Amino acid sequence: MNSADIRPRFRVAPGGRIGGELTVPGDKSISHRALMLGGIAAGDTEINGFLEGADCLSTLRALQGLGVRIERPAPERVVVHGAGAAALIGSSAPLDMGNAGTAMRLFMGLLAPQPFDSVLIGDESLMRRPMERVAGPLRQMGARIETREGRPPVHIRGTPTLHGIDFRMPVASAQVKSALLLAGLGASGRTRISEPAPTRDHTERMLGAFGVAVHREGSSVSLEGGQPLRGTQVQVPADFSSAAFFIVAALLAAEDGLLLRNVGVNPTRTGLLEMLKRMGADIRLQPHAGVAAEPTADIEVRKSRLRGIHVPRELVPLAIDEFPIFFIAAALAEGETTVRGAEELRVKETDRLAAMSSGLSVLGVDNHLLDDGLWIRGGSGFGGGTVDSHGDHRIAMAFAIAALAARAPVEILDVANVATSFPGFPELARAAGLAIETL
């Protein structure tokens, strides 16, 4: 860092105790989808528990740019006045997705069958991320889409004559699956997608709530084009991916336990719980009764002695966003931990394998960066030091939690993007017992 660097950073004093009860903000994946489906539905959609993070606000503004009327009677309450997909109008300005990969990829599917043209752009990180994984199959459906060497800007020439396809995804990606389902709604015939491993199924669940018939069979999901969506009520649970930071914080430092309230525990998201339990973690779920589209639970976590594991490959897509904080847990577990089959982490907001490996090395943890994962020898704690988050929200929050087990202060650079998924993180972390300040 040079003295002219004015990007915000965290400084976290070592040690501290974690405890009490917390409710983390709403789920990012579900908030994006509720806005988008509300935007193409006929009638009002009321969203409660909405994540007021920068990523979801990019989706909200993009929908407004496409002519959708949206009201926000409270920060976590949004009313989308949908008038059906046919009521969308083209935006003369490029639609700016900010840092949000989910927004860009899902909008590609949503906009491809529209009769107007669109241009999608994003911030420096998003402009480097791969978009052909969505553009390719959309072209097979008849879409006219151009990327710049596979990356944004994405130019979509509206083509209201798309046709359904049968597509086997080469990567396990809920964003690709969701984009193709959205395009399939505006296409003729049936769109069928099979996945190489289960990925988050929020789109499928929510389409059902909007009145769309979605068929699931084994590893594939399909729908008929032309089905109308009816506005509905969406209750967004607290984001498991945000709760994950406090689950690990509590494993490190909650002698008397920590209670996380009302967390989304969709089984396609909670691979981290299985991984941590295999390491010896004391985590208990109190599931909520009811028939909501998304299951929720209170999660109670106590300080635990962890041991290293080899993470089964099938758990990787079910914990894809939790690896930064999982690697912190692994660094404190006795013995070796290995993660393989996680090459997707290299194309997230930053290369999360490289960023975590170098940050762990700064804090004195023995580790090896692998092509598709990371090997860590844990158990000797953390030294202090300055770690670069590379502008990645989850890397920043993971290293902030690491300070609980450090011998000296940990400073984390370039943390403004924490607000993309977890607005208020430093304040909530302080309330839970972390000695964190933003500089």
Shortest distance, CB of residue 272 to ligand S3P, whole angstroms? 13
From candidates 9, 200, 269, 303, binder to ligand S3P by CB under 6 A: 200
Among 159, 175, 191, 242, binds ligand S3P (CB under 6 A): 175
- Report the C-alpha gap between 184 and 112 in whole angstroms: 10
Whichever of 175 and 337 has its CB closer to ligand S3P, that residue is: 175
Residue 242 touches ligand S3P, criterion: CB under 6 A: no
Which range of residues in 111-119, 169-177, 306-314, 358-366 is near ligand S3P by CB under 6 A? 169-177
The dihedral through the CA atoms of 23, 61, 88, 146 has a sign that is negative
Contacts of 3 (CB under 8 A, 6+ apart): none
Question: Interface with ligand S3P includes 173 (CB under 6 A)?
Answer: yes
Binding residues for ligand S3P, rule CB under 6 A, total 10
The answer to whether residues 111 and 67 touch, using CB atoms and an 8 Å cutoff, is no
User: Which tokens hold the place of 103?
Assistant: 């927004």
Integer Cα distance of 403 and 11 in angstroms: 9
Residue 135 neighbours by CB under 8 Å, 6+ apart? 108, 143, 145, 146, 147, 154
DSSP state of 274: H
Minimum Å gap between C-beta 309 and ligand S3P is: 22
Which range of residues in 134-142, 151-159, 172-180, 356-364 is near ligand S3P by CB under 6 A? 172-180
Applying the rule CB under 6 A, the residues between 330 and 349 that interact with ligand S3P are 344
Name the one range near ligand S3P by CB under 6 A: 90-98, 173-181, 205-213, 279-287.
173-181
User: Of 234 and 258, which has the nearer Cβ to ligand S3P?
Assistant: 234
Element (H, E) at 176: helix 174-185
User: Applying CB under 6 A, which of residues 9, 24, 26, 29 lies at the interface with ligand S3P?
Assistant: 29
DSSP state of 313: G
303 binds ligand S3P (CB under 6 A): no
Catalytic-role residue among 321, 351, 388, 414 = 321
- 8 Å CB contact between 102 and 35: no
Q: Is the CB of residue 108 less than 8 Å from the CB of residue 149?
A: no
Q: Which of 31, 91, 99, 102 binds ligand S3P (CB under 6 A)?
A: 102
Residues pairing with 108 in the sheet: none
> Tokens 């004093």 belong to which residue?
13
Segment lying near ligand S3P (by CB under 6 A), choices 39-47, 168-176, 216-224, 430-438: 168-176
Number of H helices, E strands in the chain: 13, 23
Shortest spacing between CB 164 and ligand S3P, in angstroms: 21
**Catalytic site includes residue 5:** no
143 contacts 159 by C-beta, under 8 angstroms: yes
- Tell the burial category of 393 from Cβ atoms under 10 Å away from its Cβ (0-12, 13-18, 19+): buried
> What residues line the site for ligand S3P (CB under 6 A)?
29, 102, 173-175, 178, 200, 320-321, 344
Catalytic residues: 321
